[in-house]
Amino acid sequence: MSDVQERLQVLLDYWIKHNQEHEEEFRDWAQKVSSLSSEVAEKLQAAATKMADASNDLVKARETLTKNMEEH
């Protein structure tokens, strides 16, 4: 495994966890603000969903990286 692959593996793990934390925080705040502004709550929920989508893409990238490293 090259240094770049090793570094990317570490970064992907970090980014996935970091995004999941942000997603959870967005959802928490959406719930807190829902009685004050449903529009803000909806925007925060939308941001959380996009963060989850980004995390899913990062998971797929990590899986592909792992598969490629095993093949070489």
Mean predicted confidence (pLDDT) in 22-50 = 98
Contact 15, 58 (CB under 8 A): yes
Q: List pLDDT tens digits, range 1-34.
A: 689 999 999 999 999 999 999 999 999 999 999 9
Rounded (10°) CA dihedral 61, 57, 52, 16 = 20
Name the amino acid, one letter, at 13: D
Place of tokens 């959802």: 27
Distance, CA of 31 to CA of 3 (rounded, Å): 42
Domain map (residue ranges) of the chain: 3-71
Rounded to an integer, what is the distance from CA 43 to the centroid of its chain?
17
